[in-house]
């Protein structure tokens, strides 16, 4: 009897897990298959954040093990991919591409504000990631980490402090980037 109840529990968990995976997969395919226009101005920043988060994890891991070639490779990838994100979202004339359909009558002003805010943090990301690669050439773990930490503080925390709601209990070091 005990064995039968264990089999039933495993079967129930498997069904729930499979259903969850299928539902998530169906939602993902539907979203990717549609041609969507985004009203939200955070789309470029969010895309940049998702892209560089994978590389920053690899940079941190490489710093911890002293793999400076990987640090240089991943840091350069952050800079290159950041440039690609900019080209994806903003045309050569500086206007957002087809992904952005602004609401309201003052769309040109909103476009300029959105682009300038995005480019501000994009420039910080590019400059600091190149600095990480340059510092890593000296093969000094501490200095390389300091460069990485500078990117996280200036680019990541700086952007999060401006674009996200304030956390109720932000630590002091986070408050300096939000103000």
Both 49 and 29 in a single domain? no
Q: Which two tokens stand for residue 133?
A: 């690669």
Residues 29 and 73 in one domain: no
More confident residue, 1 or 104: 1
Do both 42 and 82 map to the same domain? yes
Measure the CA–CA gap between 58 and 52, rounded to whole angstroms: 10
Same domain, 122 and 172: yes
Query: In the chain, how many domains are there?
Result: 2
Same domain, yes or no: 99 and 54: yes
Q: pTM of this prediction? A: 0.63
pLDDT one-digit tens code per residue, 143-155: 999 999 999 888 8
Same domain, 82 and 100: yes
Q: Do 63 and 9 share a structural domain?
A: no
53 and 8 within one domain? no
The reply to whether 77 and 8 lie within a common domain is no
For residue 26 the two structure tokens come to: 């169906």
Same domain? 14 vs 74: no
pLDDT at 26 over 60: no
Tell me which residue has tokens 């549609």.
34
pLDDT band at 38, cuts 50/70/90? very low
Per-residue pLDDT at 4 exceeds 90: no
Residues 168 and 115 reside in one and the same domain: yes
24 and 66 together in one domain: no
Domain range holding 11? 1-34
């Amino acid at each position: 009897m005990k064995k039968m109840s264990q089999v039933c529990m495993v079967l129930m968990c498997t069904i729930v897990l499979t259903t969850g995976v299928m539902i998530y997969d169906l939602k993902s395919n539907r979203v990717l298959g549609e041609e969507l226009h985004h009203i939200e101005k955070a789309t470029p920043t969010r895309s940049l954040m998702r892209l560089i988060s994978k590389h920053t994890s690899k940079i941190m891991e490489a710093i911890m093990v002293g793999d400076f070639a990987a640090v240089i490779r991943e840091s350069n990838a952050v800079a290159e991919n950041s440039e690609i994100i900019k080209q994806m979202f903003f045309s050569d004339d500086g206007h957002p591409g087809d992904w952005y359909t602004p609401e309201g009558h003052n769309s040109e002003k909103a476009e300029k504000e959105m682009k300038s805010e995005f480019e501000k943090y994009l420039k910080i990301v590019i400059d600091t990631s190149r600095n990480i690669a340059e510092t890593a050439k000296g093969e000094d773990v501490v200095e390389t980490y300091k460069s990485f930490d500078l990117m996280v503080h200036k680019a990541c925390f700086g952007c999060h402090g401006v674009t996200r709601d304030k956390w109720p209990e932000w630590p002091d070091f986070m408050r300096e980037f939000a103000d």
